[in-house]
Amino acid sequence: MVGMDRRVPEPEWRARRDEHERRVDAWTLGHLARRERGEKHPVADFLFTYYSHRPAQLEQWHPGPGPVLRDADAFLAVPGHVRRADGTVALDPAALPDRHRTTAAFVHALLVATAARPPRLGCFGLHEWAMVYRTVQDGATPRHAAVPLRLGAAGTDAVIEALPVHCTHHDAYRFFTAAARPRNAVAPTRAGQVALEQPGCLHATMDLYKWAYKLAPATPGELLADCFALAADVRELDMRASPYDLSAYGFEPIAVETPAGRAEYVRLQQEVADRAVPLRAALSNRCELLLGAVRPG
């Protein structure tokens, strides 16, 4: 079992579980209501459509390694949880399927490498602009076709042509239009992700949520919710700096086509990068717990 076990009585762990559910309701309930009505929100729905973790999964609270729960037999249905001799229940990392350690090895390598690099600021969120570059001329459909472009198609293309594009994240770069890809300073690949990812990247910060749920149930519910909260704020920043006119949704644009807008973007980019530091460290720690676990034989 993992060290530093702490016995948690039933009222305490139930209170933590209930607080987690209340916290994530702020995000899940709106998304589910819109889905029921057949409505889409270009900002708020993204984390539920781009990532594979479903709202019902986000609502589930896990204690993670360390807490030893009293009167918690329901957790025995969750992989890795075992009953101890005294009847308490706890997560034993060594009892998790081997795939958790395979995941932890990749995530740990990625997070450690990312944390070791200085943040690269000043990309100005141009990845979103590159995803619609020359779509009108090429007869393609923009990703958010129902949302108008602030500067129109020609004005959007002019921004990409006037500013340097330096996106280091594969999962953003792969959505670039064919015309935009040659304009990027690098050509990120999945295989090169560990070698290229850096902590100033909005998508790398948003992906902390992905790594948190990929490590579940070794990720405590509170850490998962913290990563989701940061990802939600990053998504808002990402879209405010995008070429889309989101005024109908109540979002003021960050006009990165202007010097003032670019300065604002860099300031906010630094803020979310700073917020990501302790979360990245906490997830790295979870990976180390999993990698240090020995499956009982």
Q: Is residue 116 domain-resident?
A: yes
Q: Around 144, how many Cα atoms within 13 Å sit in the side-chain half-sphere? A: 18
The lowest-confidence range among 180-184, 191-195, 290-294 is 290-294
Q: What's residue 1's pLDDT?
A: 42
Q: What's residue 3's pLDDT?
A: 45
Q: Is residue 224 domain-resident?
A: yes
Which tokens hold the place of 62?
């896990």
What's the pLDDT tens digit per position in 271-286? 999 999 999 999 999 9
Q: Is residue 280 domain-resident?
A: yes
Omega of the bond leading into 97 within 30 degrees of 0 (cis): no
Please report which confidence band the pLDDT of residue 179 belongs to, taking 50, 70 and 90 as the band edges.
Answer: very high
Q: What's residue 144's pLDDT?
A: 73
Mean pLDDT for the chain? 94
Q: What's residue 138's pLDDT?
A: 66
Q: Is residue 141 domain-resident?
A: yes
**Count of structural domains within the chain:** 1
What's the pLDDT tens digit per position in 111-167? 999 999 999 999 999 999 999 999 877 666 667 778 999 999 999 999 999 999 999
Q: Is residue 65 domain-resident?
A: yes
- The reported pTM is 0.94
Residue identified by tokens 């990053």 is 234
Gap between the Cα atoms of 114 and 118, Å rounded = 8
Look up the domain containing 184 and give its range.
6-292
What's the pLDDT tens digit per position in 2-17? 445 789 999 999 999 9
Q: Is residue 297 domain-resident?
A: no
Gap between the Cα atoms of 224 and 29, Å rounded = 17
Q: Is residue 163 domain-resident?
A: yes
Cα distance from N-terminal residue to C-terminal residue, the chain: 14
Q: Is residue 223 domain-resident?
A: yes
% of the chain residues with pLDDT over 90: 92
